[in-house]
Amino acid sequence: MKPCIPKLTIVLSLVLYSIGWLGTAQAQRSRENFDKLWQFHKGDIAIKQAVKAGKQGGLTDANVKVVEGEEAIIAYTDKNKVANYKPSDWINVNLPHDWLIEEPYIHDDNIGSQPAGNGYRLPGIGFYRKEFEVSEADSGRKITIEFDGIFRNSTVWVNGHLMGNHPSGYLPAWYDLTNVLRYGKEGKNVILVKVDATDYEGWWYEGCGIYRHVWLTKTDPLHVARFGTFVTTPSVSDREAVVSVKTTIQNEYKDPKTITLVSKLVDSKGALLNTQTVSQSIAAFDQVEIAQTGTIPQPQRWSPETPNLYKVLTEVSEAGKLVDTYETTFGVRTIALTTEGFFLNGKLYPIKGTANHQDFAGVGVALPDKLNAYRLKLLKEMGCNGYRTAHHPPTPELLDLCDQMGLLVMDENRLLTSTDNGLNDLKTLLYRDRNHPSIFMWSLENEESLEGNVTGTRILAKMVETARKIDTTRPTTAAMNHGWNEGGYSDAVDVVGYNYGQRGMQYVKDHEKFPQRKMIVSESTSYVATRGEHEDNKQKGYVSNFGMGLSWGLQPGQDWKHIVQYPYLSGTFVWSGFDYRGEPTPYRWPCVSSHFGIMDLCGFPKDGYYAYKAAWTDTPLVHVFPHWNWPGKESKPMKMRGYTNCDEVEWLVNGKRVLKQKVEPFEYIESEVVYQPGQFEARGYKGGKLVARELLQTTTAPAHLTLNADVTSLKADGTDVAIINIAIRDAKGRVVPTASNQVKFSINGPGRIIGTGNGNPSSRESDKASQRMAFNGYCQVLVQSNQSAGDIRLSATAETLKGAEVILHVH
Mean pLDDT across 780-803: 98
Residue 58's pLDDT is: 53
CATH of domain 704-810: 2.60.40.10
Confidence of residue 550 (pLDDT cuts 50, 70, 90): low
Pick 613 or 22 by higher pLDDT: 613
**For 465-516, what is the HEC assignment?**
HHHHHHCCCCCEEEEECCCCCCCCCHHHCCEEEEECCCHHHHHHHHHHHCCC
Alpha-carbon dihedral sign for residues 316, 318, 320, 322: negative
Residue 45's pLDDT is: 84
Q: Is 630-697 in the same CATH topology as 32-217?
A: no
Mean pLDDT across 168-180: 97
Residue 748's pLDDT is: 98
CATH superfamily of 221-330: Immunoglobulins (2.60.40.10)
CA dist 10 to 7, 270, 565, 789, Å? 5, 11, 50, 21
- Average pLDDT score over the chain: 92
CATH superfamily of 630-697: Immunoglobulins (2.60.40.10)
Which residues lie across from 194 on neighbouring strands? 127, 155
pLDDT in tens, 211-235: 999 999 999 999 999 999 999 999 9
Residue 746's pLDDT is: 98
Query: Is there a contact between 403 and 307 (Cβ–Cβ < 8 Å)?
Result: yes
**For 84-118, what is the HEC assignment?**
ECCHHHCEEECCCCCHHHHCCCCCCCCCCCCCCCC
CA contacts within 13 A on the Cβ side of 210: 30
Confidence of residue 486 (pLDDT cuts 50, 70, 90): very high
Is residue 25 scored above 60 in pLDDT? no
Confidence of residue 27 (pLDDT cuts 50, 70, 90): low
Query: Is there a contact between 120 and 160 (Cβ–Cβ < 8 Å)?
Result: no
DSSP string, 621-670: -EEEES-S--TT-TT-EEEEEEEESSSEEEEEETTEEEEEEE--TT--EE
Is residue 5 scored above 90 in pLDDT? no
Query: Is there a contact between 409 and 438 (Cβ–Cβ < 8 Å)?
Result: yes
Which residues lie across from 147 on neighbouring strands? 173, 214
Closest CA to 595 of 576, 577, 579: 579
Alpha-carbon dihedral sign for residues 354, 358, 363, 368: positive
Give the whole-angstrom CA distance, residue 308 versus residue 600.
31
Residue 403's identity, in one-letter code, is D
Query: Is there a contact between 593 and 585 (Cβ–Cβ < 8 Å)?
Result: no
Q: What are the backbone dihedrals phi and psi of residue 288, each rounded to the nearest 5 degrees, phi first?
A: -135, 150
Confidence of residue 160 (pLDDT cuts 50, 70, 90): confident
In 526-582, beta strands by DSSP E: 571-575
Query: Is there a contact between 590 and 762 (Cβ–Cβ < 8 Å)?
Result: yes
Q: Looking at residue 775, what DSSP letter applies?
A: B
Q: How far apart are the first and last CA of the chain?
A: 9
What number of other Cβ atoms are within 10 A of residue 46's Cβ?
Answer: 8
Query: Which residues 6+ apart lie within 8 Å of 316 measured at CB?
Result: 222, 223, 224, 249, 259, 260, 261, 322, 323, 324, 325, 326
Query: Is there a contact between 405 and 385 (Cβ–Cβ < 8 Å)?
Result: no
Query: Is there a contact between 227 and 185 (Cβ–Cβ < 8 Å)?
Result: no
Is residue 618 scored above 90 in pLDDT? yes
CA dist 492 to 335, 455, 513, Å? 20, 12, 18
CATH of domain 32-217: 2.60.120.260
Mean pLDDT across 709-729: 98
Confidence of residue 399 (pLDDT cuts 50, 70, 90): very high
Q: Which helix (H) or strand (E) holds 454?
A: helix 454-470
The distance of Cα 43 from the centroid of its chain, to the nearest Å, equals 28
Give the whole-angstrom CA distance, residue 327 versus residue 312.
6
Give the whole-angstrom CA distance, residue 759 versus residue 188.
45
**For 611-623, what is the HEC assignment?**
HHHHHHCCCCCEE
**To the nearest whole percent, how much of the chain has pLDDT over 90?**
89
Residue 16's pLDDT is: 41
Confidence of residue 85 (pLDDT cuts 50, 70, 90): low
pLDDT in tens, 343-387: 999 999 999 999 999 999 999 999 999 999 999 999 999 999 999
What number of other Cβ atoms are within 10 A of residue 508's Cβ?
Answer: 17
Query: Is there a contact between 431 and 442 (Cβ–Cβ < 8 Å)?
Result: no
Residue 751's identity, in one-letter code, is G
Query: Is there a contact between 101 and 205 (Cβ–Cβ < 8 Å)?
Result: no
Residue 592's identity, in one-letter code, is V
What number of other Cβ atoms are within 10 A of residue 442's Cβ?
Answer: 28
Give the whole-angstrom CA distance, residue 578 versus residue 605.
9
Give the whole-angstrom CA distance, residue 254 versus residue 284.
5
Give the whole-angstrom CA distance, residue 661 versus residue 226.
61
Query: Is there a contact between 534 and 547 (Cβ–Cβ < 8 Å)?
Result: no
Closest CA to 315 of 300, 328, 306: 328
Confidence of residue 63 (pLDDT cuts 50, 70, 90): low
Residue 47's pLDDT is: 63
Q: Which helix (H) or strand (E) holds 690?
A: strand 689-697
Which CATH class name applies to 335-616?
Answer: alpha beta
Mean pLDDT across 653-678: 97
Residue 53's identity, in one-letter code, is A
Mean pLDDT across 283-305: 98
Query: Is there a contact between 633 and 675 (Cβ–Cβ < 8 Å)?
Result: yes
Query: Is there a contact between 755 and 745 (Cβ–Cβ < 8 Å)?
Result: no
Is residue 156 scored above 90 in pLDDT? yes
Residue 269's pLDDT is: 94
**How would you classify residue 99: left for phi > 0, otherwise alpha for psi between -120 and 50, otherwise beta?**
alpha
Domain ranges in the chain are: 32-217, 221-330, 335-616, 630-697, 704-810
Closest CA to 345 of 358, 359, 331, 356: 331
Residue 83's pLDDT is: 47
Query: Which residues 6+ apart lie within 8 Å of 149 measured at CB?
Result: 169, 170, 171, 172, 210, 211, 212, 395
Is residue 75 scored above 50 in pLDDT? no
Confidence of residue 549 (pLDDT cuts 50, 70, 90): low
**How would you classify residue 367: left for phi > 0, otherwise alpha for psi between -120 and 50, otherwise beta?**
beta
* Residues marked as catalytic: 447, 523
Query: Is there a contact between 757 and 764 (Cβ–Cβ < 8 Å)?
Result: no
Give the whole-angstrom CA distance, residue 578 versus residue 565.
26
Mean pLDDT across 673-698: 98
Give the whole-angstrom CA distance, residue 787 versus residue 718.
5
